[in-house]
Structure 1
Amino acid sequence: MRTSITPGQVWLDTDGKRIHAHGGSILEIDGTFYWYGENKERSAPGSGIWHWGVRCYSSSDLYNWTDRGLIIPPEPDDPASPLHPATSMDRPHILRHPDTGRYVCWIKVMSPVGQRSTVLVADDILGPYRVVRQDFKPLGMNAGDFDLVLDPTDGKGYHYFERVHSELICADLTPDLTDVTGYYSTHFPLVQPPYVREAPAYFTRDGLHYLVTSGTTGYYPNPSMVAVAPSYHGPWRELNDPHPDDPTRSSYQSQISCVFRHPHKQDLYIALADRWLPRYGASSEAAVAMHAERFRPMGGHKPGPWSELTEIDTSIADYVWLPFRFEGERAILDWHDEWRIEDYA
């Protein structure tokens, strides 16, 4: 029985198995927390398996998680399916429609012809889900890492996504949350990876809208960035790396997938992050030098030898969950070997 959160340590479910809910998020429904994400349990090197569906866990305390199974199973018998385990399916995000109660899940799939989106719906958080929109390009764009946002006052939805490898887009969702309307805004235009922002994670606090993003370096960690704006569509103002005390500039060897505001605490915002490569020694002198080289000013950038650093085995990826601390507008993530939700009012 767990009584605390220990960032970076192996996290087991109530059956003693490694938790696989990567690149996902948390929903609270009728007092129960549901944590869902990519199931990487079969994604060992050489397996040819990128994912094995979307898995969900439930909890009453955010510490102890019960496996609720594959809410969106893979489709191994259909190579053309976006859910085929060899496809690069990433970052499921689910919204609950405020009027119908229906659950709407978006996923992205990296394919040989570009990045595509697929939308599924279900009447229950645990499924079954059915595809209602498949292999499409929102706004005609290749949509990469993304987040979905629902305004709590009017129920309007927003889709933040990386327009692959150029800028970040905020697009209004249709009333049923399964498509974009055509109205959008563009943000953080940059020339190339690793500077292009991806992995947007949205939250709002004290009337400000926040986005936390990472650079574009594949599974290898890099510095995150916090920006604030007066509205969903900006304009966004860059503030800070939320990990200022991390000398490796690797976001504590992790990438944030979402920010979860605890519904029963006054001011507890939790950054949920994946440590995709737990064997990657980001604290070593070599890693520090590599990060300094990779993120030198534009014009002096040289690609780092990423493929030589470590074997990419996402089947053993871990999690780094940390609470935000705020200094005025600045959102900061201090390192904690262990922390407890009960310590927050």
Structure 2
Amino acid sequence: MKYSLLVAFLIVSLTGFAQNKVINPGAVWPDDKGNHIQAHGGGIIKIKDTYYWYGEERAKGLDPNYRYVSCYSSTDLMNWKFRGDVVKMSDPENLGEGWILERPKVYYNKPTKKYVMYFHLDTKNYQYARVGIAVSDKPDGNYTFVKSFRPLGHQSRDIGQFIDDDGTAYLVFEDRELGFHIVKLANDYLSVEKEMSLVRMPLEGGAIVHYKGLYYSIGSALTGWDPNPNKYATAKSLEGPWSEFKDIAPPDTKTYHSQSTMMLKVVGTKSTTVIFMADQWKPDAQWDSRYLWMPLEIGDGKLWLNQPKPWSIDVKTGEHKFIKQ
């Protein structure tokens, strides 16, 4: 027993961190260096057997003249290696003090072999309302700014990403005037080809998953940093029609004080787990904002988020299990 403890101590001492064996929603989530993961408002793509998680870098001590996007990699979704800040961008379009880069999402374009990052680009007063694009030859950067635009001429603030089972790439964006849009990306992913749906609901934090023949869409109300009851709807096609929106959790929990950012589908040899990825924002201590990741109860047109508790996942089999406390 003493020998085992000594070995464990040496492993932690040499590597700087202990292996995460569970996902603990709402807790500090250490990376391979022992630092709390900084990937807020983020998104994930899978390349071969590796997951890449991109998000807003909100650590203390960052140069206020720049905006940062971090990248982490993992093969098990529980232990994450910090790959560095893949974006360190100064004001790209003379947006002025307090300019905004939020909710980065990365797509891999096989024909061009480019990694294409979309993000919300805005002025301090949120009136610019555009998507920005940066590209890289590698998943872990560096990403070079290309341009910004308003998709199909519409305002765009919060964005979400969705890659269907056939590999087709879509962007979800929030338009204060109309609702939220689901649009298909052009072949090179550098522009929008067409609109699939306009969901006439005042929702942001859009996330979509395709599960057993149905599309499930999640969004949160427009309450800024403050959490609210996230809602979901379903459709047989991305073109709709979409069902009535319903709560994904008890309304008084305000989605367990979180806001949706993505639904990640893990398809394994035995089962499929759909993970609700959300942020628990701390606007006055953004570096300490946490992540609420939980398996969803999903199927037959129903979707439900249970009370957060520690859990683990086997990405090979697709099975998850909750950990007794």
Note the C-alpha offset of 1:247.
Answer: 3.1
Match of 2:312?
Answer: 340
Deviations 1:106-143 (A, max 9, x none): 11122144211111111111112222222x21111111
TM-score, normalising length: structure 2: 0.84
**Structure 2, unpaired ranges of 5+:** 1-18
The Cα shift of 1:188 comes to 2.1
Is 1:151–2:156 an aligned residue pair? no
Map of 1:36 onto structure 2: 54
Residues 211 and 299 of structure 2 are in contact (CA less than 8 Å); yes or no, is this contact kept in structure 1?
no
Could you tell me which residue of structure 2 aligns to residue 92 of structure 1? 104
Deviation at 1:185, TM superposition (A): 3.3
Aligned ranges for residues 237-316 of structure 1 at < 5 Å?
237-244=243-250, 247-248=252-253, 250-264=254-268, 266-277=271-282, 312-316=284-288
Q: Whole-Å Cα distance in 1 between the matches of residues 74 and 164 of structure 2?
A: 25
Q: Cα distance, 1:239 vs. partner?
A: 4.7
1:117 aligned onto 2:147 = no
**Residue 24 in 1 paired to residue 37 in 2?**
no
1:323–1:109 Cα change, 3 Å: same
Question: Quick check: 1:218 aligned with 2:224?
Answer: yes
* Paired position in structure 2 for 1:297: none
Q: Which amino acid aligns with 2:142?
A: P
Aligned residues: 296
Q: What is the SS of the residue equivalent to 1:5? A: coil
TM-score by length of 1: 0.79
Partner secondary structure for residue 244 of structure 2: strand
Q: Which amino acid aligns with 2:34?
A: G
Structure 2 partner of 1:62: 77
Residue deviations 1:155-189 (CA, integer Å, cap 9, x gap): 43322211125311122221111111254532124
What's the counterpart of residue 9 of structure 2?
Answer: none
Gaps of at least 5 residues in structure 1 are 190-195, 278-310
- Richer in strand (by share): 2
Distance of 2:50 and 2:94 partners within structure 1: 32
- For 1:197 and 1:183, the matched residues in 2 are separated by 17
Tell me what 2:6 maps to: none
CA distance in 1, matches of 2:65, 2:306: 32
Question: Equivalents in 2 of 1:152, 1:99: separation in Å?
Answer: 17
The letter of the residue matching 2:86 is I
Alignment equivalent of 1:198, drawn from 204, 209, 222: 204
**C-alpha separation in 2, matches of 1:129 and 1:324:** 33
1:138 aligns with 2:151: yes
Post-superposition Cα deviations, 1:36-75, rounded to whole Å, max 9, x if no partner, equal: 10101138xxx99497411011112111111100111132
Identity of aligned residues (%): 31
CA distance in 2, matches of 1:171, 1:327: 24
